Structure 1
Amino acid sequence: MFQHVFAEMNEMLDEIARHYPIAQGVHKHELSRKWHLLQQMSDSMIEEWLNFEEKMGTLRQSGIRLEEKCELDYPEMNDDAFVKGQGYYKLLMFSQSLLQFQAVLEEYPESLIGRTYLAMCHLHLDQSDEAVHYFEEVLKAAANKRLRSIIYNALGCIEVKRGARSKAREYFTLAYHSDPTLPEPLANWEACLHSTGKLQYGTQLISLL
């Protein structure tokens, strides 16, 4: 599941090693940004893995028998295109991620999580109309409150970009009421009121699964 993510990270690291010593200006700044991104991802992965191993050890020692396999809520997660798409998404490579999730929907046309990822990719690529189309499709069928909150928050960000603050507030309010534990809607509304900070969307999508 993680092989593709590490392959992309290694490829990015190789690019930095080859070009940073001779890079200048904007190119050097971009390579530096990628280096800091990789460093953050590495630190985060190590910390999360240690926490995971600790919990696994506790569960093993509890004596609980875990022999039966549970059916996945999202069978498309085993699809190669889904794994690649999520890997690209984590690396902020949204154009490549979009292509993978288009392939996921060809195989799983009813996939709500695949459609949500596709919409988020469009949003990150400043293709707001396409993003709204897919978000609205998901909202018609999604019962998961966390997923609905993530989508309402993203729709609020789109309205902020369009200059429609009143509509944005409606969406941020819907996002908050759908799942009050999601931190992004309140932070975005605060940023909107004071015209400060960067809008946040899609960061909680991966942790949804």
Structure 2
Amino acid sequence: MKLEEWFDTLQTKAETIEQKWPQASEHEKLQLADQLFQLRQVSDRVVDLWLQFEEKLSSAIRQIKRLEGQEDGQDEDFAELNGYKHEPHDNGKPEAEGVYAKTGQSSSISAQKELKAALANDGNAAEEHVPASAASMQKQSYLDSHREYEHMFRKGEGFYHLRMYQDARRCFAELLNESPDWESGRLYYGYSLLFCGEKEAALREFRLLSRSASSPVVTAISYNAIGCILAEERQWLEAAQAFKEAVAIKPNQRDAWFNLALCYLEDGYVHEAMETIEKVLDEESQDWEAQMLWLRAARLLQMSDPAAELAPPSGLRLPNRDLDSATLQEMASLYESLGNYHRAQICYHFLTERHPREGLAWHGLAWNTWLIAGTRRALTLMKKAISLAPDQLDFTFSYGWMLLFDGKIEESLAAFRFILLKQRDHRLAQSGMITAYEWMGDILAAKQLAKPFTEDQDPYVRSLGYYHLGRIALAEENWRLAEQYFRRVLPHSDHFREIPIYLQMCAGKLGEPITKSELLYP
């Protein structure tokens, strides 16, 4: 039996016991408990054997290096460490690096930002991101001089990589009691404390290492860890300073650069965030989370300054099929918000290949295809989306909107009326009706539909109403009224990018000057 199959068998036994327990009689529970005890004995034996194997493997590697003359020939600067090694994500995302674990959209620090944080997702993600073998972090000469304590280190390291953090903490505490200057042991101890929930104690250990460690890598990693803990407390300024210390010591530490950029973004320094994350993109073009961080920063910058010219860095590459679905979906949304419809289209194309029965993916592909190539190529794709999700009225609205801009006003009105029969207060369908009436010259009907929007509780819906009324006033050549309506539209919104143009048009017709700030902040 293969090793994987053997472990699968053990897992199945544990799952079976868990499933049977709620309905089991007292006698059956005793039998199940005995089986659990046997499985625990197997687990403990596996741990012991693994630790022995790890020790023997490390000894063999050490001996071979000595025979090859690599024992003390160079300070590898802990090159084998290379920041942090991580176990693969269960969801198939590209592996992350660093204390800030890249954890997708749901992090404890921000639901809108992906984090390379070991503290993300209320601490659960921390267990997916562990320091590399600390043996590779210590010079061979140091290990040789501490041979009598190496077994303690190996045991703690084994517990740590098995995510048995309480046991690891105990082992490293014993090690440091005997050998307090063992830097990698103290680093492991700090992370063990952190993953056991003892944040303050972990912070003390990292601060001590940041001041006293002889290794620049250990020092930089410690500053990075300090920054992560502070970022979890939303102390952005202090966290950023810690990350700056990390990159000052090790300029090639990509994790700290990523974290620094994230702190800037969270603290509202969008330009600084973009400049910082570009350092990561220049070095590693396939860091998709770094790319998304740049895209998010770019979107925020464009919202605050629609006239800003954004030049994507050279490291911003095209998406590929290897990305997981959640990453592709978010990248598509970010690209679309920035007006990069070709890249959004690529993302949705990959999603339709992976999820051919998912209407949302087909809708995204159809919408961006329409923005690029027009109605003829997009309508078939939109019909596909509607057939897969007939209850998604927004898909039907998109279909009607395409028809409207293709000049098929009656057909588009039919689509909007169909939606309103299903849902009377569907605002998008009503908005489509307003636009159709405006184009048909039925100004009165358009006004009657638009005015209730301005009394809605939703700020976006109110803005949509003012937007429509402003356009109607333009059609009537009532420039002053149009200007007043447009100035009441919600500022900094992706949905009303034409407002500065309309304001400039009104100012020109009225013979009044308009400042740049007025164009940017309607």
- Shorter-normalised TM-score: what interval? 0.5 to 0.7
2:158 corresponding residue in structure 1: 87
Which residue of 102, 119, 129 maps to 2:200?
A: 129
Q: 1:145 aligns to what?
A: 216
Partner of 2:251: 180
- Structure 1 residue 181: Cα displacement: 2.2
Q: Structure 2: how far apart are the matches of 1:163 and 1:68?
A: 45
Give the deviation of 1:171 after TM superposition.
Answer: 0.4
Report the alpha carbon displacement of residue 156 of structure 1 after superposing the two structures with TM.
Answer: 0.1
Moved more, 69-78 or 129-138: 69-78
Per-residue deviation, 1:152: 0.3
CA contact (8 A) 1:76 1:104 kept: no
What's the secondary structure of 1:84's corresponding residue?
helix
* 3-state SS, counterpart of residue 79 of structure 1: helix
| Deviation per residue, 1:146-197 (Å, 9 max, x gap) | 11110000000011112210000000111111112222212223444556x8
* Counterpart residue number, 1:73: 142
The residue aligned with 2:11 is: 16
The Cα shift of 1:113 comes to 1.7
Provide structure 2 residue ranges, at least 5 long, that are not aligned to the other structure.
20-56, 73-139, 267-288, 290-522
The one-letter code sitting in structure 1 at the alignment partner of 2:15 is Y
- Report which stretch shifted further, 11-20 or 152-161: 11-20
Cα contact 1:85–1:101 (8 A) shared by 2: yes
**Structure 1 residues 14 and 151: CA distance shift in structure 2, 3 A:** farther
Identify the residue that residue 239 of structure 2 maps to in structure 1. Answer: 168
* Alpha carbons of structure 1 residues 110 and 65: separation in structure 2 relative to 1, 3 Å: closer
When residues 166 and 12 of structure 1 are mapped into structure 2, their CA distance, relative to the original with a 3 A threshold, is farther
Deviation, 1:96, is 1.3
CA contact (8 A) 2:193 2:201 kept: yes
- Higher-Rg member (1/2): 2
Q: Specify the SS of the correspondent of 2:194.
A: helix
Give yes or no for contact 2:224–2:242 (8 Å, CA) kept in 1: yes
Shift of 1:142: 1.3
Summarize the Cα distance change of 1:149–1:13 in structure 2 as closer, same or farther, 3 Å threshold.
farther
Q: CA deviation at 1:67?
A: 7.0
Is the 2:187–2:206 contact (alpha carbons within 8 Å) kept by the matching residues of 1?
yes
Secondary structure at the aligned position of 2:159 is classed as helix
- Give me the whole-angstrom Cα distance separating, in 2, the residues matched to 1:114 and 1:92: 16
Instruction: Map 1:114-125; keep pairs closer than 5 Å.
Output: 114-125=185-196
User: What is the aligned residue count?
Assistant: 152
Whole-angstrom CA distance in 1 between matches of 2:256 and 2:14: 39
State the match for 2:176 in structure 1.
Answer: 105
Preserved contact between residue 94 and residue 125 of structure 1 (Cα < 8 Å): yes
**Closer/same/farther in 2, CA of residues 126 and 73 from structure 1, 3 Å limit:** same
Give the secondary-structure state (helix, strand or coil) at the position aligned to 1:155.
helix
SS at match of 2:142: coil
Whole-Å separation in 2 of the counterparts to 1:171 and 1:99? 28
1:170/1:113 CA distance change after superposition, 3 Å:
same
Equivalent AA in structure 2 for residue 168 of structure 1: A
Q: 1:67 and 1:90, CA in 2 relative to 1: closer, same or farther beyond 3 A?
A: same
Partners of 2:232 and 2:217 in 1: CA distance: 23
Give the conservation status (yes or no) of the 8 Å contact 1:76–1:82.
Answer: no
- Partner amino acid for 2:186? R
Which of the pair is proportionally richer in helix?
1
Return the offset for 1:99.
0.7
Indicate the SS of the match to 1:169. helix
Instruction: Provide the C-alpha distance between the structure 2 equivalents of 1:121 and 1:112, rounded to a whole number of angstroms.
Output: 14
CA distance in 1 between counterparts of 2:9 and 2:178 reads 33
Aligned structure 1 segments of 4 or more residues deviating by more than 6 angstroms: 11-14
Residue 88 to residue 66, structure 1, CA distance change in 2 (3 Å): same
Q: What's the CA shift string for 1:70-115, capped at 9, x where partnerless?
A: 5522344762221011112122221111011011112212222211
Taking a change above 3 Å as real, the CA distance of residues 174 and 133 of structure 1, as seen in their structure-2 partners, is same
Q: 1:19, CA displacement in angstroms?
A: 0.9
Asked if structure 2 preserves the Cα contact closer than 8 Å seen for 1:152 and 1:171, the reply is: yes
Report if aligned partners of 1:152, 1:172 keep a CA contact under 8 Å in 2: yes
Query: Scaled by the length of structure 1, what TM-score is found?
Result: 0.60
TM (norm. structure 2) is 0.26
Cα distance in 1, alignment partners of residues 233 and 70 from structure 2: 50
Letter in 1 for 2:11: I
Task: Give 1:126 shift.
Answer: 2.7
Amino acid in structure 1 at the alignment position of 2:201: E
Alpha-carbon separation, structure 1, partners of 2:69 and 2:225: 39
